[in-house]
Amino acid sequence: MTLPAAIVHVGRGDRPGPDWQRLHALCNGGFAGAGAWTANLCAHLPHRTGVWVAVVDAGETVGGLAWIENVRGPLRTLEAHHAGLPCDVLLHPHLDPDRRRSVLAALLGAWTHAARAPLTLAATLHVEGPAADDVAAPLAGAGFLRTEVPVAYFPLEQGLEHVESHLLKKNRRNERNRSLRRGCTTGVTSDPAVIDEFLPIYVAATRRWGTRPIPAGLLRGLLADGEGRVFCTTVRRDGALLGAHLCLQAAGTVTVWVGATAEGLDDVSPATLLIWADLEEACRRGAACLDLGGHGGQQGVAQFKELLGALTLERAMWRRTSRLGAAALALRRGGRA
């Protein structure tokens, strides 16, 4: 079915317009579709701008997809995600099946058109849930390759007591209890000042992992701009910070996005205690899921989450690299195109 009255709008800017925001709220959209997310990415990462695609039918916005453009001179890369947070594919909940397919096709058409433009080096999209299957054929047909990304999570619908009794492993409960007996305390804050304490712990951890840290300004900005939906869980002993998780809340999910703990703490388990604090706070906020994210190639992180008792889902990552992009990547790696 075609939508003769539908118009595809492509806008650029740090934040979406009011019609997009209304659709996002109506769809109970995720954090990646929130204005605070894109605005802070653009403010604290160089060369970025937000792209907001909206499908408008009979004057009403019925579909939406957002991504980040990284523009350097005439070249660009596209990210419909950032650092593991999946994108939103917004479809008005009252669409009938035929219309829903048409709106989705219009959104993906805008995305694949941008991805296949001659000066686009690469385009990446992370998607989960029912939309993951719906986008498979159009993206594969446009030259995107799919990679499955395992993501750890705790379902919370049955409450904290159920998670503690039936999911959280006994050894992890023992670690939590021992850490509390030995003077550790947990907390929750949205004060951006916590990043100043967290930063040395986090930067040291990224050196061990061989990764680049998220800019401190971005972490502070999200806390300041998150309207209470961005918060840090913390573990302290004698007032000193032992570790923290920066968490994002949207669409019934609390996502643990960035986290690290200090080294050399053999007598306590701050990483386990942080997860417990995440679970407590997510349940207090009425979330249905605690998303612990992927492991970024860190097998120790993957094993830690598995031994906690977390469950696993597969998130689809779709990537298209142009010939020019592949050549640039090979050159950067010292290889040959």
Using only C-alpha atoms, the chain has a radius of gyration, in whole angstroms, of: 21
Alpha-carbon distance of 176 to 179, in angstroms, equals 5
Residue 334 is classified by DSSP as T
> What pLDDT score was predicted for residue 84?
81
Exposure class string for 84-120: b at 16+ Cβ within 10 A, else e:
bbbbbbbbbeebeeebbebbbbbbbebbbebbeeeeb
The residue type found at 212 is R
Alpha-carbon distance of 57 to 62, in angstroms, equals 7
Closest CA relative to residue 38, chosen from 73, 12, 6, 10: 12
Per-residue pLDDT of the chain (337 residues; tens, 9 = 90+): 444 557 999 999 999 999 999 999 999 999 988 889 999 999 999 999 999 999 999 889 999 999 999 999 999 999 998 888 888 899 999 999 999 999 999 999 999 999 999 999 999 998 876 667 789 999 999 999 999 888 999 999 999 999 999 999 999 999 999 999 999 999 999 999 999 999 999 999 999 989 899 999 999 999 999 999 999 999 999 999 999 999 999 989 999 999 999 998 989 999 999 999 999 999 999 999 999 987 666 677 778 888 899 999 888 899 999 987 777 666 666 654 3
Let me know the angle formed at the C-alpha of 156 by 206 and 235, rounded to the nearest 5 degrees.
40
Q: Give me the helices (H) in 257-315, please.
A: 270-284, 299-308
Alpha-carbon distance of 322 to 143, in angstroms, equals 9
Please check whether residue 87 is in contact with residue 131, taking contact to mean a CB–CB distance below 8 angstroms: no
> What pLDDT score was predicted for residue 301?
73
Full-model pTM: 0.91
Q: What are the respective helix, strand and coil percentages of the chain, to the nearest 5? A: 40, 35, 25
> What pLDDT score was predicted for residue 1?
41
Alpha-carbon distance of 14 to 35, in angstroms, equals 7
Token couple for 95: 């669409």
